[in-house]
Amino acid sequence: MSDSQWTLMIHGGAGMLTRATLTPAQSAGAREALGRALDAGGSVLAGGGGALDAVEAAVRVLEDDPHFNAGRGAVLSYDGAVSLDAAIMDGRDRRAGSVAGVSATRNPVSLARRVMTGSPHVMLSGAGADQFSLEHGLDQAGRDWFVTPERESQLAEMIADPDGWFDVAMKYGTVGAVARDAEGHVAAATSTGGVTGKRWGRIGDSPLIGAGTYADDRGCAVSATGSGEFFIRAGAGHEIAARMRLLGEDVATAARTVMADVAALGGAGGVIVVAPDASAIWDFTTPGMFRGRADSSGARTVAIFGDEG
């Protein structure tokens, strides 16, 4: 039954985000984009819309903004290619859609949703996912839309470094959203360009249901960001939800316990989590995380650094 309460949380990546590593212009631009994403998702929820629509709307805004590593402004693979991953999940019935290694869909999160609603599958990859996108009429974009000079420079610097290996600083990261709507349902969505210089078709946790993206009305909705290999090994999203569902843990305890496990494995990053009771938390083990929260009480927060928000 509707109680009119809603909650939206978003992130734009976790990593070495400090006042020394971000310029004032970068910080201001990221905050403005996070605010627009909260507006997009929040307007859906305030109008009585569902959590699934809200997380897609919020993530689309972040995918279109070059301050983040998703869609426009995504990092480049070792050969200079654009290779995008995304997932979305509905907590009502655990339907999910996911894509990996796509190269031409302007908003990969919407392609992931179309996989969920317009195919019998959960996950599509590469050329097949690109073809599915064309057949279903999703907005396409060329390399000139996705690629920014900054990302080209980052790739060149990494390749020039004989000890370079991936995007170790993770200054920019994955984007995601989780929401609880007025009906008490939750949903999650995540989108990423992966890591700078990725090779051999590498896929991280973002499009993997139960790792970087998960939603279950019996537990919570989770979107993760960080060193994906470790979130995969921890099964982070599902683990948080399972701890809540089976052990009765609250969002803070479940999130912090699983993030401690990720850290113990050697990984770093963050999660945003919201439960059907509207409780919500972000938790991160890095100096900062692009993040924001809005809810039906009118409360609103946009933050980046670890000592704020």
Q: Is 192 a catalytic residue?
A: no
Which residue type does 92 have? R
Q: How far apart are CA 222 and CA 172, in angstroms?
A: 19
Which among 7, 105, 174, 225 is annotated as catalytic? 174
Q: What is the 3-state secondary structure (H, E, C) of the chain?
A: CCCCCCEEEEEEEEECCCCCCCCHHHHHHHHHHHHHHHHHHHHHHHCCCCHHHHHHHHHHHHHCCCCCCCCCCCCCCCCCCCCEEEEEEECCCCEEEEEEEECCECCHHHHHHHHHHHCCCCEEEHHHHHHHHHHCCCCECCHHHHCCHHHHHHHHHHHHCCCCCCCCCCCCCCEEEEEECCCCCEEEEEEECCCCCCCCCCCCCCCCECCCEEECCCCCEEEEEECHHHHHHHCHHHHHHHHHHHHCCCHHHHHHHHHHHHHHHCCCEEEEEECCCCCEEEEECCCEEEEEEEECCCCEEEEEECCCC
Residues with Cβ < 8 Å from 82, sequence gap 6 or more?
Answer: 74, 76, 103, 143, 146, 147, 193
Do residues 10 and 62 lie in contact, with contact meaning Cβ atoms separated by under 8 Å?
yes
φ and ψ of 129, to 5 deg? -65, -40
* Residues with active-site annotation: 174
